Structure formats: C-alpha cells, structure tokens
Amino acid sequence: MTKQPWYQQTTDELFAKMDTQEQGLSEATVKQRRTKYGENRLAAKRQTTVLEKFAAQFKDFMIIVLIVAAIIAGATGEVVDAVIILAVVILNAIFGVFQESKAENAINSLREMSAPVAHVERNGQITTIKSDELVPGDVVHLEAGDIVPADIRLVTANAMKVEEAALTGESVPVNKTSMALEESDLPLGDRSNMVYMTSNITTGRGSGVVVATGMQTEVGQIAGMINQTEEVKTPLQANLTQLGKWLTALILGIAALVFVIGMLRGEESLVNMLLTAISLAVAAIPEGLPAIVTITLALGTQRMAKKNALIRKLPAVETLGSTDVIASDKTGTLTQNKMTVEQLYENGQLIDARKAQIDLSDPLAMAMILNNDSKFSESGLAGDPTETALIQYFLDQDDAVASAISSNKRVAEIPFDSERKLMSTFNEDQDGAVIQYVKGAPDQLLQRVDRMLVDGDVREITTADKQQILATNHSLATQALRVLAFAYQPVDQLPVEPNSQDDEQHLIFIGLIAMIDPERPEVAQAVTEAHQAGIRPIMITGDHRDTATAIAKRLGILSADSMASQVITGAELDQLSDSEFDKQVTQYSVYARVAPEHKVRIVNAWQKRGKVVAMTGDGVNDAPALKAADIGVGMGITGTEVSKGASDMVLADDNFSTIVVAVEEGRKVFANIQKALQYLLSANIGEVLTLFIMTLLGWQILAPVQILWINLVTDTFPAIALGLEPAEPNIMKQKPRGRSSNFFSGGVFGNVIYQGILEGLITLGVYALAIAYPVHASGQLAHADALTMAFATLGLIQLFHAFNSKSIHESIFKVGLFKNRVLNWAILTAFLLLAVTIIVPGFNTVFHLTELALAQWAMVFGAGILMIVIVEIVKFIQRRFEN
C-alpha cells in the first residue's frame, strides 16, 4: 500500500500519524525519538586525509609511465631529465590534492545552511533549542526571518510566504496554507502546506509538525545524492589514459626490437645497445605532454578568469570545448532572479511599462507604492520580490517614492491571506482624507468591484469590461507574466477593526500590473552562438510549465512555433521508464517543475547517448546534477556554497554568455593541445624511425646522449609555446567534438604518421648525402660529420616543423608565420641550445660531435625548409579534397 504523502493528510491525521499533539512532545518521548532517528543534521561523507589524496594522484597510468621514464632517465645519467619529469608529476599531484579538498566543501556548506535554532513546543511550553535537537513529531513555530530547521507539515499559516528558490527553483516566495491538498504526485514547489529545511520565511508566521529530520529531509536526500554521485572522468583524462597505454606498449616494443637487431649485428656492445634502447624509449615517450597539457590548461584558466569564468578543476577547461549540451537552470541563470514590471493595463489599454511612464499622481501608481510592505535599507529595498518590483519601477523613473509614502501614512490594513488572495491598506494623506487601496488576484478582486476608473472618471463596470479584463489577464498569464489587479475607494470613516467581508466591497477598479523575472539581456545572443557552435541548450527549472515555456521562447531555446511536445514536466517525466526516456531525451528542450533527482536523470540520459553535458545551476537542488555532469557550472553571485562546491567552474558574474566564452576558450585549448601532440609525436616518430633504420642498415647510430639532448631542447619549449596559439577564426562554427573524439581526431593521426616518417626520411637522406659527398677525405671524420649533420638535421627539422604545427589544416602563412612571439623565442632558444653542442669547443666533445662547414650547415637548413614546403603542399591537397 502506497504511503499517503504528508501534504494530503488532514491535521487530525497528521497528529495521529506522528503520535503528537498541539502541546508538543514530552521530554521522555523526545529522548526516545532522538535515539531512533538521530540528530537533525546532515551526514558528511568520510573525508580522506591529505596523504590519501596525494597517494591517489599517482594511480593514473600516464603518471606511472612518467615515473618509470624518470627512473630510466636517472639510470642513464640524465639527471636533469629525471628531475624535470618528477617535478611535473609532483606538481600535478599537489594541484590535484588542492582541488579535491575544495570540492569536499559541498556537503559542509550544505550543513552550514541549516537553521542554528528552532522555536519548539515541548510539554506545552514554547522553548528555543538547537535545531539539531529536533525530532519527528516536534511542533515548531515559525515567523518571518526564520530558516526552516526541518521538513515541516504546516498546521497554521498566517500570511506566510517562503523563499524556496534554492530548493525548488521558484523565482518568487510562495504562499503557504495549512489546508490538506487533494492532488497526488505534487512536485515540491506545489506542496503549499509544506516547508523544507534551509528555506526562508519571508513574511507571516505559522506552526507545523516536523515530519522529517536530518538525511530524511528533502535537502538531506540531495546531500546523499551528492555523496553517491560518482566523479565523471573528463574526455581529456580519458584520452590521456588511452594515449599513455597505447604509446607505452608501442614504444617498448620498438625499443626491444632495436635492441635485438643491434645485438644480432654484433657491432655494438651489450651495454651500448641497452643504453640506446632505453634512451630511445625515453626519447619516444612524450613525457613533456602532461606538463604541456597542464601548462596549456593553466594558461587557459588565467584567460578565462579575466572573463569571469573561474575554473576549479583544470580538465574542465578542455571539457567545455567538447560540450554537446548545456543544461541550464532558469532562475538566476537565464533570468535575473528579480521581478520587473513589464506591462500595465489602465483605461482599457495595455501598454509597455518599459516604454511608458505613469506619474505618482495616478491612482494606479499610488496603489502600487502604498499597498506595499517593502522597506528601505542601506543595502536597498527589502521585502517580497513582487512588492519591491513595484517600488523599484518608480525608483528607476527617479520618482519621489519615499516622499509619497511618508505623505500618505498607513493607518490600518487587512493583511494578505492566501485563501482570499487580497491585501488592503488604508492611507491618510496630509489633508486627512483616507483612501483604501486593494491589490490581489484579478479574478478575486473583480468579484468585489462595481465601478472602474477610466481617464480620471469613475463609472459603473460592465460585464463586458470584466470579460475584457479577464481576457487580458489570461493573455498575460500565458506569457508567463505574474498579474496583480488594483482597486481603491475613498473611506469616509475608518473602520475600527477592518475586515474583508465588510470593507473589501464596492471597490473601484484601477488596472493591472504584469511582472516577470526577465531574461538576462545577453542570454539570447549567447543561446544563438551556442546553436551556431552545434551546442544544444536546454532549460531545467522548478518553475511552472507556462513560465518556463515563455522564457525559453524569448531566449530562443524554443522557437516561436515550437511544439508543446518539446516541453515536459517532472510529473510527466516520472511516467516514463528509463529506457523510454533515454530514447526520447533529444525531443525535449524544456523541463518544468522538476525535482533534483530529475536533473540527474536528464544529465545521465544525455550522457548515455555519448554526449558531453554541461549543467549550470545556483541552488542546493542543482548540486547533484552539477556533480553528475561532465562539467558543472555554478553561479558566483547568486549561487549557494553547495552549488559552487559541486561545480567544476564558477561564473563570477552569473552571466550565461560567459559560458559561451568559456566554450570557445575550451575549444582553443583542445586545438592547441592537439597541435602540441602532433608536433611531439611526429618528432618522436622521426627519432625512432631514424634510429631504427640506422640500426637496420648497420650505420653508425646516434648516441644516447645525443638522442636525449634533442628530445629535451626540441620537445619542451616549442610544444609549450604552441599552447599559446590564438584561436582560429572558425572555431565556434564547428560542431562539438563530443565524447567519442580524441586527440587523434580531425586528421591528426594521419598527420603524425606521415610527418614523423618525413622527418626520419629527410634526416636519413642528409646522413646518406653526407656519407656520399664528404667534405673531409678521412672516412672516420666523414662519418663523424655525417652523424653530426644527422643530429643537427633531426633537431632543426623539428624546430621548423613547429611552424607547420601552428595549424592542423590551415596554411601557416594564413594563420601568421611569426604571429606567436612566444613560439618564435622558443624556437630560437631551442636552436641556440642545439647549436651550442656543435659550435662551442668542449661541448661538441662531450656530445661526440664535430664542427660543421658552411656548406654542411646550408644542407641542414635546406632540410628544415624542405619539411615546411612538403607539409604545406600536403595541407593544400587535404583542403582541396575536403572542399
């Protein structure tokens, strides 16, 4: 039998079910229940120690490869290589520990949001206790300003409004009632007789029975979801792991083959061939890749921080670039989370409030500012967002609002009541005249008016007038506008005890005000740019279906003629099985009235289709989905600490368009990493091929120290500088790479192979020419010269190839040959370090090299230029075939 929800139970059923009464629980009962249910606090996931976090960083396969490479480098006497590799590994580990420690603050922040104290009825006495001492069945009293300490079913509610945006996504405080609700399967935002832990009482007061504490509360279940959600491995991390395994197996195989062939020839000693094989393995493994990736990502985070996108986890930079879907919360993310007056209906006409102005002498204006509980403070207006919006409308017009309020003192009132949906104030002007102003729901107010104000004259209101007003109200409501109706009447004698039945009758209708939490002005353009970039923006909100649909159409998430089938509510989503939803997920662009578990389900459904999902949000209810998404994007201003802690990136300006900027940066980062990878691997293939063919042909081979020096000076500086290449012009016109792509996508794998082979063949060609046409007659010296020329060519050709790598497909002359100044200096520095080993006496002896003649240098430089020419020709052919 299905358990009846608390919101459906009557007060008597509630007290009976919770075994409590209006006077509260006895101390003995409280003690028993605390033993059974525990403290009213959120449980934190066991936090690992700093040492455990540090050790966990070394489980990555690529890191293990690097450590092995460092050991091998140290064993061959290359201490500098070993130190550099280990330094990179340790720095990566320290940074990982720092980021993981910050992420663990999510649950702690959630716990800190809980109310510190609660006003509870115990043994018939109201007492104040710590909120963590509450137990199910306690009777709690609530009033404006309180943080709700547990999940509570209200038994009394007097003009109570509760701000639940962080939990439900509702953009304005919601009215609360104590009446039992008949509907079933109501989402959190529609359970008007329930209040939930961490929400805030904005106005009114009430009392209720605690029905859930601690981890059993709604926010507790969210905390549990955060704890249980597994970390998603980013595309970058997956690619690096896959690449590391593939390269290691391949390189070790080639090194072993070179060793065996060398030994079979019988011309090299066992020690020398072993050192050669090990040096080849160290040279071939791109140990600089993790450092280059880290540095490129770090530079990307700096650039993004200047544009208000704060990265909490480095891989998030690249993940943004592969994003297929951006699932965005509505309130505070796509909208301003601030109610704004948008339309006015007065004198039978609907006008745009943003373009028209009404004077304070207008009765509608006076009703808006006098029938209002907003307060002025040093930090601005305080009060219900709906009411502050009415005041702000006139403040934006520089009207003397404060003076008008002080000149029309409130002398009596009939407070708002959620059942009659009206509020009245009685205001006395400086001449002693009293006017009653009434505001509320249009359908309720129209039942109490018999006249209306038109162009300054009062006349009887007709049935046709009322039908027109109701039709206007309906039209505005379908546009997701919140509509209030206003009326007034002069009062000859102030009632002693004003009441609705006697005093809210025979009113004069003034007009309607339509408000909305408007979209951020820059978001529509950001949505358009996302569409152009092949990214699917979808809206996920706790707000009502009509509101969500209207905002989505205004932003371009839904087209003006979109089908209603593109919008789905949480209740409708519950009717779909996981398999059904997984098949239909691409159909929906707007999700309304959803719960936290729905958000995670939506994210997971897209991920099952191989899509990389970014989820934006600012509330507690967004935290599980933020953590489950490939990249969680929190809001820096309006976001809760919980949502920030669960995010990979935080928007310092809460600006949705910043996400698009971040996506562009992420795409640029990935493209630059691809360029660096193409450069590194093609260079390494060139080295491996050169050594392999030399060994196979029985030629004198490059010494281990020569191989490692080339690897050191040519790999590091140019590859890092390639990470600073500016974004190519069409980068935001391309489709997202998606999860299935990798570093070798887009023709990179083919480029690496042919360019590596080309480097090796050109180097071997220079060696063969040097042997065939020696400058010196001596055979031994000729071979030494040839080996030096092969060494210089292999190093210099890689530096020239760095210019080729500025773009995967475009001509270097189009992207700018010398545009990247850092790359220019990196290539020059690497060349000088290479040349020193040949030119400077003493150094060439250490590296077993000879001084080269001018003609020999000309041949080396010619080989480097030939590399650029051939690659440019191949790029030209590739572009022609693509077109």
* DSSP conformation letters of 365-405: HHHHHHS---EEETTEEES-HHHHHHHHHHHTTT--HHHHH
Q: Does 536 score more than 90 pLDDT?
A: yes
Q: Which residue has the higher pLDDT, 202 or 324?
A: 324
Model pTM score? 0.66
HSE value, Cβ hemisphere, 13 Å, CA-based, for 879: 11
Domain 6-44+110-223 has CATH 3.40.50.300: no
Domain spans in the chain, listed from the N-terminal domain onward: 6-44+110-223, 50-103, 236-304+666-882, 320-336+520-660, 340-516
Candidate ranges 104-113, 205-214, 215-224, 772-781; pick with highest mean pLDDT: 205-214
pLDDT at residue 225 in the model: 66
User: What six digits make up the tokens of 557?
Assistant: 């998430």
Is residue 638 within 8 Å of 240, Cβ to Cβ? no
pLDDT at residue 226 in the model: 62
Give kind and range of the element (H or E) at residue 162.
strand 151-163
Q: Does 312 score more than 90 pLDDT?
A: no
Q: Does 346 score more than 90 pLDDT?
A: yes
Question: What is the average pLDDT score of the chain?
Answer: 82
Torsional class of 722: left (φ above 0), alpha (ψ -120 to 50), beta (otherwise): alpha
Angstrom distance (rounded) from CA 683 to CA 757: 9
| CATH no., domain 236-304+666-882 | 1.20.1110.10
Please, what's the b/e burial string for 511-542 (b: 16 or more CB within 10 A of its CB; e: otherwise)?
bbbbbbbbbbeebbebbebbeebebbbbbbbb
Could you tell me the end-to-end alpha-carbon distance of the chain, in angstroms, rounded to an integer? 65
Among the listed residues 716, 708, 709, 722, the one whose alpha carbon sits nearest the alpha carbon of residue 802: 722
Candidate ranges 38-42, 255-259, 400-404, 665-669; pick with highest mean pLDDT: 400-404
Q: How confident is the model at residue 260 (pLDDT cuts 50, 70, 90)?
A: confident
Q: How confident is the model at residue 267 (pLDDT cuts 50, 70, 90)?
A: low
Angstrom distance (rounded) from CA 720 to CA 296: 7
Q: Which residue has the higher pLDDT, 511 or 238?
A: 511
pLDDT at residue 65 in the model: 56
Write phi, then psi, for 374 (nearest 5 degrees): -65, 150
Angstrom distance (rounded) from CA 438 to CA 371: 7
Q: Does 84 score more than 60 pLDDT?
A: no
Is residue 624 within 8 Å of 638, Cβ to Cβ? no
Q: Does 653 score more than 90 pLDDT?
A: no
Place of tokens 């529509």: 524
Is residue 622 within 8 Å of 603, Cβ to Cβ? no
Angle at 544 between CA 170 and CA 380, to 5 degrees: 30
pLDDT at residue 534 in the model: 92
Q: How confident is the model at residue 102 (pLDDT cuts 50, 70, 90)?
A: very low
Give the whole-number percent of the chain exceeding pLDDT 90: 29
The strand pair at 507-516 and 340-346 is best described as antiparallel
pLDDT at residue 1 in the model: 35
Average pLDDT over residues 686-703: 78
User: What six digits make up the tokens of 738?
Assistant: 């998606």
Instruction: Name beta bridge partners: 142.
Output: 206
pLDDT at residue 106 in the model: 38
154 Cβ neighbours under 8 A, 6+ residues apart: 160, 176, 177, 178, 193, 194, 195, 206, 207, 208
Q: How confident is the model at residue 780 (pLDDT cuts 50, 70, 90)?
A: low
Q: Which ranges in 195-234 belong to alpha helices (H)? A: 218-228
Q: Which residue has the higher pLDDT, 279 or 671?
A: 671
Angstrom distance (rounded) from CA 760 to CA 508: 92
The rounded Cα 169 to chain-centroid distance in angstroms is 17
Give kind and range of the element (H or E) at residue 511.
strand 507-516
pLDDT at residue 105 in the model: 47
54 Cβ neighbours under 8 A, 6+ residues apart: 93, 94, 97
Catalytic residues, by residue number, are 329
Torsional class of 874: left (φ above 0), alpha (ψ -120 to 50), beta (otherwise): alpha
The strand pair at 325-329 and 536-540 is best described as parallel
Average pLDDT over residues 597-610: 90
pLDDT at residue 100 in the model: 52
Angstrom distance (rounded) from CA 411 to CA 429: 10
Angstrom distance (rounded) from CA 434 to CA 416: 20
Neighbours of 729 (CB within 10 A): 10
At 669 the three-state DSSP class reads: helix
Topology, domain 340-516: Calcium-transporting ATPase, cytoplasmic domain N (3.40.1110)
Q: Can you count the helices (H) and strands (E) in the chain?
A: 33, 26
Is residue 43 within 8 Å of 223, Cβ to Cβ? yes
Angle at 560 between CA 559 and CA 561, to 5 degrees: 90
Angle at 442 between CA 440 and CA 443, to 5 degrees: 115
The DSSP-derived string for 556-595 is TSS-TT--GGGEEEHHHHHTS-HHHHHHHGGG-SEEES--
Write phi, then psi, for 334 (nearest 5 degrees): -90, -25
Of 105-119, 592-606, 845-859, the poorest mean pLDDT is in 105-119
pLDDT at residue 103 in the model: 39
Write phi, then psi, for 84 (nearest 5 degrees): -65, -45
Q: How confident is the model at residue 508 (pLDDT cuts 50, 70, 90)?
A: very high
Among the listed residues 291, 313, 290, the one whose alpha carbon sits nearest the alpha carbon of residue 95: 313
Average pLDDT over residues 615-623: 77
AA identity, residue 18:
M
Among the listed residues 249, 468, 480, the one whose alpha carbon sits nearest the alpha carbon of residue 342: 480
Q: Does 187 score more than 60 pLDDT?
A: yes
Top-level class of domain 320-336+520-660: alpha beta
Tens of pLDDT along 412-444?
A: 999 888 778 899 999 999 989 999 999 999 999
Angstrom distance (rounded) from CA 801 to CA 517: 55
